[in-house]
Structure 1
C-alpha cells in the first residue's frame, strides 16, 4: 500500500497545482472584515425508483433514498480560525419481496483550531479532532443474523496537532501532523471478541469459552497528512478532493492507511442538484476472512482496498 499511497498523494498534489485555462475562476475577497462567525446548514434528499408493469425484459420494482445533512459553524479573525462541522448521511434501498437494505451510513464530527502569529502568513499552527461512526447495524447481505458492524463498532477518533498551509482556507488546505492519536472503538462484545477492526481478540479455551474478553479500544500514535481542495470546474460544477494518509509509529510504521474522496457537485438551480463521487479506503487493521474446506471456519485473508461509488439526483436546501 505504500506505492498506492504515494500515487494518491501525487495525484492530490497535481490537482492543487493544475489550473487549466478552461477552469472557472471565482473572484475572492481578501480584505479583512474583522472577527466573523459564519454558520451554514444544508439538507439534501436524493430519491430514485424503478417500476415495471408487464415489462417483457423483466425487472424488479425498487426505490432508494438518501438523506444528507450537514451543519458548519466557523470563526475567523486576523490570527485565529476555528472550523466546526457535523455531517449525517443515511441511505436505504427497498426492492420488491426483499427487506430494506442500508446503502450509506455516516455520522461525523470535525473541529479544527488554528493560530498564525503573522496575519500575512499562509501557515497555521493547527489542532484537529475528527470523530466518525455509523448509526445502525451493518450486514453482509442476505445474512441478517450476524451484524458485521454497529453503532460505535467501529467508531474512530483522530486527535493531534501540526502545521497547516491554507492560503485560502475555504478552498485549500494541506495539513501535516507528526503526532496524531487514532483510537478505534468496538463497543460490541461479539465483535470485540472476534478481533474486528484491529482490536485485540478474546482468548478462548478448548470448549469455546471466553478466558480473556476482547479489547474494545485500540490506540495508535502516528503521523497524519491530509489534503482538501475545492474548485469550480465551470459555473455550476464544483469538485472536492479530500485525502487522508496515516501511518502508526509502533505497529508496522510505513504501512499507510488511506481515506480518499473525490466528489463532483452539479447544481441545476437553487434547489435541484446532482452529485457523483467515489470513496476509497484502506486500513491494514481491518482484515477480511475467507472460507475454508471446513464448514463454518474461516482463515484471515489480510486487509483489502475498500471502494464505493455513488450517483444521486435530488433536492437540496441551504440555510
Structure 2
C-alpha cells in the first residue's frame, strides 16, 4: 500500500510497505508399507517486512527477513533445517530526476536464532545466535531503475564485522576471529577475540522478473573481498529462487543458496574418534523445494 503524508512545508512524502507471512509443510506417513520408510513432518516458517521511502531525489529502503525450519522424523530428535535473521537498510540520493544512479550508503546484519549442530551430535553447538553474526556498513553508488526490478550496488569502502559471542567458538578461532593463545599443555593464556573487522570492496545485485505467467524469478548476489587480507579472495553469497503462484494464498518455491567464505572453517570427525576436528573452508550449498500458504498485505 502507499501512504501519502503532507508535511508543514507542503511536500509530499511517499512510503511503500509490504508484509509477507508464509508456511511450507510436508508430511510422509506409513502404515504397513512394504517398501518401508520413516514417518516425518517438515515445516518452514518465514516472514519478510519491507518499508521503502522515496521523495524527489532521495530514497530509503529497509527490509527484515526471518526464516526458520524444522524436521521431525520418527525415531530421532527434531532437527533444524533453516535458520536466518537478516536486516538491511540503504539510503541514497541522485543528482537529478533523470538519473538511475544514486550516491548510496548501506547497512546489513545477519545471524541465526538458535544453536546449530553437526547432527547427530546435539551436545556441542557449532554455531549460535551471534556466533556468527555479520554486519556490513559502506558507502558507494547504486543503480536502481524505476521500471525494472534490478538494483546494483558498488561500494569501494565497506567495513565488515564478524561477531563470535560464544567464547568457546571464539577460542577455537571459528569464523575467522583471532583464536585463543595457549601454552604447551593447552591451557588458555589469552581468550580468543569476539569481533573481527575487515575493510574491503562490496558488490551486490538483485534482479526480479516474471518469466512466465505466475512464475517469478528472483536472483540475489553478494561479493566481498578484503583489501588487507588476501585481496582477490572473494566471499560469495548467491540466492536464486523461482516462485510459482497457484492462487492468492498458495505458492510453490524452488530455490538454491550458495555460500563461500574463506574464514568459515568446517568441523568433521576425520579420524573416527568421535571428536570433531576443524578443517578448511568449503562451498556451502542449500537446495529448497516447498509448497505452502502465503499471506501478503
Using the size of structure 2 for normalisation, the TM-score is: 0.93
1:239-269 per-residue CA deviation (whole Å, 9 max, x = no partner) reads 0010111000000000000000000111100
The structure 1 residue matched to 2:186, chosen from 208, 220, 226, is 208
What residue in structure 2 maps to residue 182 of structure 1? 160
Any conservation in 2 of the 1:158–1:183 contact (CA below 8 Å)?
Answer: yes
Question: How far does residue 206 in structure 1 lie from its aligned partner after superposition?
Answer: 2.6
2:121 to 132, 143, 148: 143
The equivalent residue for 1:310 is 288
Q: What is the deviation of 1:235? A: 2.0
Classify the secondary structure of the residue corresponding to 1:303. Answer: coil
Q: Distance in 2 between matches of 1:294 and 1:94?
A: 27
Match of 1:227 in 2: 205
Q: Which residue of 2 aligns with 1:71?
A: 49
SS at match of 1:94: strand
1:254 pairs with 2:241: no
Name which of structure 1's ranges 130-139 and 297-306 shifts more when overlaid on structure 2. Answer: 297-306
Structure 1 CA distance for aligned equivalents of residues 14 and 183 of structure 2: 61
CA-CA distance at 1:233 after TM superposition: 0.6
Q: Is the 8 A contact 1:205 1:211 kept in 2?
A: yes
Task: Give the match's secondary structure for 2:193.
Answer: coil
- Which of 23, 36, 40 is residue 18 of structure 2 equivalent to? 40
- Considering fraction of residues, name the structure with more strand: 2
* Pick aligned residue for 1:198 from 156, 159, 176: 176
Secondary structure at the aligned position of 1:35 is classed as strand
Query: Which residue matches 1:130?
Result: 108
Instruction: Using the TM superposition, give the Cα deviation of residue 147 of structure 1 relative to its aligned residue in structure 2, in angstroms.
Output: 0.1
Q: For structure 1, which runs of at least 5 residues remain unmatched after alignment?
A: 1-32
What is the count of residue pairs matched by the alignment?
287
- In the aligned structure 2, how far is the partner of 1:116 from the partner of 1:169? 17
1:43-192 to 2 correspondences below 5 Å: 43-168=21-146, 171-192=149-170
RMSD: 1.7
Cα distance in 1 between the residues matched to 2:174 and 2:37: 37
Q: 201-210 vs 171-180, which deviates more?
A: 201-210
* Contact 1:34-1:78 at 8 Å conserved across structures: no
Whole-angstrom distance in 2 between the partners of 1:280 and 1:149: 18
Superposed CA deviations along residues 259-315 of structure 1, whole A, max 9, x for unmatched, are 000001111000000111000000011123465559467765421100000011000
| 1:275 counterpart = 2:256 | no
Whole-angstrom distance in 1 between the partners of 2:32 and 2:171: 50
Write the deviation string for residues 30-58 of structure 1: whole angstroms up to 9, x where unpaired.
xxx95310111000010000000000000
C-alpha displacement of 1:170:
6.6
Instruction: Provide the TM-score with structure 1 as the length reference.
Output: 0.87
Give the structure with the larger helix fraction: 1
CA gap 1:292/1:96 in 2 versus in 1, 3 angstroms: closer
